[in-house]
Amino acid sequence: MARRKTKRRRPRMKISIAMIGGLLVPVTHLWSTWRATNNLEITGARATEIFSGYNPLTRRFDLGATAQGLLPVAIGVLVSRFIGGGMGINRQMASMRLPIKL
């Protein structure tokens, strides 16, 4: 009998569209903060505030600020995981050999 050929798959990193969309929200907020103040300290404090809820300049917690940073990223992860994976959209995109997923 002839020997069976083994398929060799090259691992590829897939770019998640939902996660990129979730990251666009905090990036635009940080970019507008940078353009308005041109101060790296204030922009860094704003980044800390929108991702963790803690503002190091005022030393206070504001969980409402995470709606502009952490929440969109978390929604992007959940959409990619449960909507794209559960409905089989990611599998269909993988069969078409697209380097993206939902």
- pTM of this prediction? 0.72
Give the pLDDT confidence of 52-95 residue by residue, as tens digits: 999 999 999 998 999 999 999 999 888 888 887 777 777 777 77
Q: Looking at the domain assignment, is residue 5 inside a domain?
A: no
Report how far residue 57's alpha carbon sits from residue 43's, in angstroms, rounded to the nearest whole number. 11
52 or 100, which is more confident: 52
Backbone dihedral angles phi then psi of residue 62, each to the nearest 5 degrees:
-140, 95
Please state the domain count of the chain: 1
Q: What domain range includes position 19?
A: 15-101
Strands (E), the chain: 15-16, 54-55, 60-61, 100-101
Q: Looking at the domain assignment, is residue 10 inside a domain?
A: no
